[in-house]
Chains A and B, each alone.
Chain A
Amino acid sequence: MSGDASGESPTGDVGGDGNAPADAPIIDETLRRIERAQRVRRLLMGVGLLILGGVTAAGLTFIGFNLADLTRTFPNFLSSLWDFMPPDFVDFTTYTSENDIRGPRAVYESLVRPGTLVESLAEQEGLVGLSVITIAIGFCGTVLGFPFALTFGVLGSERVVPFPFNFVFRGTMSTIRAIPALVWVLIYIPLAGLGPVGALLAVATDTVGNLGRLFTDELEEIDDGPIEAIGSTGASDPQRVVFGMLSQVFTSFIAWTLYIFEINVRIAVSLGVVGAGGIGMYIQQRFFGFLEFGKGMAAIIMVIAIVLSVEMVSSRLRARLRPSEHESKGFLDALGELSDSDKWLGTRSKE
């Protein structure tokens, strides 16, 4: 190694600078120092990986994870998956369940009779009606949570409320986030019962914690310049917040809200599983109560369709939000990357 280093110094001489030979020992020394640092770093990395592996192994033992057990039950699992087939859409609309139209044919028979979709919607029954309940919980929960998320998010920013006081709002949001939506829905039982209304409140509450936090983070990263410029016009403090700060983050706030909407629809599905209505509850009943796995599978396919379409709509909207973004070299473009991959998804399949 050190032979390499000394071999380099004569080439430095060609420049005729005259001081290259004098630097040779320094080059050797630098090389040694860099390599020593590298060895230390590799050693530390090795130790770190060992610790990571050890902790994971301890955790798995603690939980009772056992590969042998899983191998024993695996064939069983595979045959139970077979029970999911074929997906049975008999409950797609009230029309199909009343006329006992089964399998994927139920979807077709309903779609060619649009009236049956409306009927199912009006009666809030069938996969169509239940799906709309779930989407409505996610959508309305986002809308109801938004103003509070905005208020708490803005007041939580150190740039709006000075340091110790902004933690009142940050702390509130952290507390809300610490409690999962699945627990919020239980907390709201005395207020709204266990149903779609409770789910709506749970989703709205969750939105305040999550979306508000994203708003606060976004505000920490904006430019000081426009804030100062607006201030220099003699604008009032609230005007400085609105024009200097919020105007910079307007599009990204909307983009984050759409992203949270996607997540909220998924949360609405899981809230159904604990009994708060919608398509999640249908799935739970098929699997635990009636053991009707084909129907359960149909509902799972329905959930996939809902979540994918919500994602597609949301990412389309987000892509729209950034018009001539190519010219302004904002960091926010990084966010736009999300929509790029989805644009690609959008061209592939359009429901």
Chain B
Amino acid sequence: MPAVSVQDLTKTYGEGATALEDVSFEIEKGEFVVVLGPSGAGKSTLLRILNGLTTPTDGSVVVSDEEVRGRRSDVAMVFQLHYVIESMSAYRNALTGALSRTGLLDSVLTWYDGDDKQTALEALDTVGLLDEADQRAGSMSGGQQQRVGIARALVQNPALLLADEPVASLDPKAATEVMGYMRSAAKERNLTTVASLHQVNIAREFGDRFIGIRDGEVVFDGDEDALTMDAVDGIYYGEGGDDPMEVPGR
């Protein structure tokens, strides 16, 4: 039984603009999948549908035997611009992952469940921020803030962890660090993960399996060995290979 099953997913916007077309794949529990593709290929749309933030025009997504029909606390998302709350500490940010299990008043007064507090600190430990737990998120570096974002996602106790271009706005060193923490967090917890990336070298370093998307269609699906230079060119520039060096314009 696959952990995630995506069937004939299609998404069209308004008249004719197709973001995804008949996308199908299955993911086994604990797999670390990287979605590759040029900008505008439909990576973000795919992740947003997996997370229930966007409704597909057609097709279905099933996570842990249950169809995704809206936002679900067991499907966690790490965003490109981390979107942590800058005025709160790393610890309180991590705790927001437990909001769905906590009442409004309790959450406002930080009366979280003891187990949730434990989980939050464990998650911060996993991303190497235990010492910075009470530091204001707004005063942290971009890489650290993204790690807080990962901790928040982990506190949700997700069945599926999604990451939409999690390192696109980080420098290469911070990007590698963040991806390392994400991968070890996922492996430690046997967590099924889908991350979209546009840096092929980083993808190669951290992914188990790669799904290439171009113009809304799956054009590649395989492991690191299958992801040859030609395969990468195929994902980014199309089969038969237009010259990758060709620049539009003159």
Chain A contact residues, CB within 8 Å of chain B = 223, 225-226, 228-236, 238-239, 242-244, 247-248, 250-251, 323-324, 327-328, 330
List B contacts of A234 (CB < 8 A).
Answer: 71-74, 99-100, 156
List A contacts of B19 (CB < 8 A).
Answer: none
Our pick among A233, A238, A248, A251 for the contact of B73 (Cβ within 8 Å) is A233
Q: Report the minimum CB–CB distance from B177 to chain A (whole Å).
A: 19
In the bound assembly, the distance between CA atoms of A258 and B37 in angstroms comes to: 50
| Cβ A327 vs Cβ B138 within 8 A | yes
**A-contact 0/1 string along B49-84, CB 8 Å cutoff:** 001010000000000000000011110110101011
| Cβ A327 vs Cβ B139 within 8 A | yes
List A contacts of B99 (CB < 8 A).
Answer: 230, 233-236, 239, 243
| Cβ A232 vs Cβ B71 within 8 A | yes
| Cβ B104 vs Cβ A238 within 8 A | yes
12 cross-chain CB contacts under 8 A:
A229-B77, A230-B85, A230-B96, A230-B99, A233-B96, A234-B72, A239-B107, A242-B107, A248-B87, A250-B87, A327-B139, A328-B138
| B88 beta carbon closer than 8 Å to chain A | yes
In the bound assembly, the distance between CA atoms of A231 and B107 in angstroms comes to: 14
| Cβ A232 vs Cβ B51 within 8 A | yes
Interface residues of B in 75-113 (CB under 8 A from A): 76-77, 79, 81, 83-88, 96-97, 99-100, 104, 107-108
List B contacts of A225 (CB < 8 A).
Answer: 79, 81, 83
| Cβ A229 vs Cβ B71 within 8 A | no
| B42 beta carbon closer than 8 Å to chain A | no
| Cβ B83 vs Cβ A229 within 8 A | yes
| Cβ B86 vs Cβ A328 within 8 A | yes
| Cβ B138 vs Cβ A226 within 8 A | no
List B contacts of A238 (CB < 8 A).
Answer: 104
**How many B residues face the partner with a CB closer than 8 A?**
30
Our pick among A235, A250, A327 for the contact of B100 (Cβ within 8 Å) is A235
| B43 beta carbon closer than 8 Å to chain A | no
| Cβ B79 vs Cβ A233 within 8 A | no
Q: Report the minimum CB–CB distance from A174 to chain B (whole Å).
A: 29
List A contacts of B84 (CB < 8 A).
Answer: 226, 229
Across the A-B interface, the 3 shortest Cβ-Cβ residue pairs: A234-B73, A234-B100, A235-B99
In the bound assembly, the distance between CA atoms of A324 and B97 in angstroms comes to: 25
List B contacts of A231 (CB < 8 A).
Answer: 53, 71
Our pick among A226, A229, A243 for the contact of B107 (Cβ within 8 Å) is A243
| B136 beta carbon closer than 8 Å to chain A | yes
List A contacts of B136 (CB < 8 A).
Answer: 323-324
Q: Report the minimum CB–CB distance from B75 to chain A (whole Å).
A: 8
Chain B contact residues, CB within 8 Å of chain A = 51, 53, 71-74, 76-77, 79, 81, 83-88, 96-97, 99-100, 104, 107-108, 136, 138-139, 149, 152-153, 156
List B contacts of A230 (CB < 8 A).
Answer: 85, 96, 99
| Cβ B83 vs Cβ A223 within 8 A | yes
Q: Report the minimum CB–CB distance from B249 to chain A (whole Å).
A: 15
Beyond A233-B100, A234-B71, whether A226 also contacts B87 by CB under 8 A is: no
In the bound assembly, the distance between CA atoms of A229 and B138 in angstroms comes to: 16
The closest CB in chain B to the CB of A239 belongs to B99
Q: Report the minimum CB–CB distance from B135 to chain A (whole Å).
A: 10
Our pick among B51, B74, B85, B139 for the contact of A248 (Cβ within 8 Å) is B85
List B contacts of A228 (CB < 8 A).
Answer: 53, 79, 83
In the bound assembly, the distance between CA atoms of A247 and B137 in angstroms comes to: 12
List B contacts of A243 (CB < 8 A).
Answer: 85, 96, 99, 107
List B contacts of A236 (CB < 8 A).
Answer: 99-100, 104
List A contacts of B74 (CB < 8 A).
Answer: 234
Q: Report the minimum CB–CB distance from B32 to chain A (whole Å).
A: 20
Our pick among B79, B88, B139 for the contact of A229 (Cβ within 8 Å) is B79
Beyond A233-B76, A233-B97, A234-B71, whether A247 also contacts B104 by CB under 8 A is: no
The closest CB in chain A to the CB of B98 belongs to A233
Chain B CB within 10 Å — which of A223, A250, A328 has the most?
Answer: A328
In the bound assembly, the distance between CA atoms of A288 and B235 in angstroms comes to: 86
The closest CB in chain B to the CB of A242 belongs to B108
In the bound assembly, the distance between CA atoms of A233 and B73 in angstroms comes to: 5
In the bound assembly, the distance between CA atoms of A223 and B99 in angstroms comes to: 20
Q: Report the minimum CB–CB distance from B128 to chain A (whole Å).
A: 20
In the bound assembly, the distance between CA atoms of A327 and B72 in angstroms comes to: 34
Q: Report the minimum CB–CB distance from B250 to chain A (whole Å).
A: 12
The closest CB in chain A to the CB of B52 belongs to A232
Q: Report the minimum CB–CB distance from B86 to chain A (whole Å).
A: 6
15 additional A-B pairs beyond A229-B149, A242-B107, beta carbons within 8 Å, are A225-B81, A226-B83, A226-B84, A231-B71, A232-B71, A233-B153, A234-B99, A236-B104, A238-B104, A242-B104, A243-B96, A248-B87, A251-B87, A324-B138, A330-B86
In the bound assembly, the distance between CA atoms of A248 and B84 in angstroms comes to: 10
Chain B CB within 10 Å — which of A232, A234, A238, A244 has the most?
Answer: A232
List B contacts of A248 (CB < 8 A).
Answer: 85-87
In the bound assembly, the distance between CA atoms of A223 and B71 in angstroms comes to: 19
| Cβ B104 vs Cβ A239 within 8 A | yes
List A contacts of B152 (CB < 8 A).
Answer: 229, 233
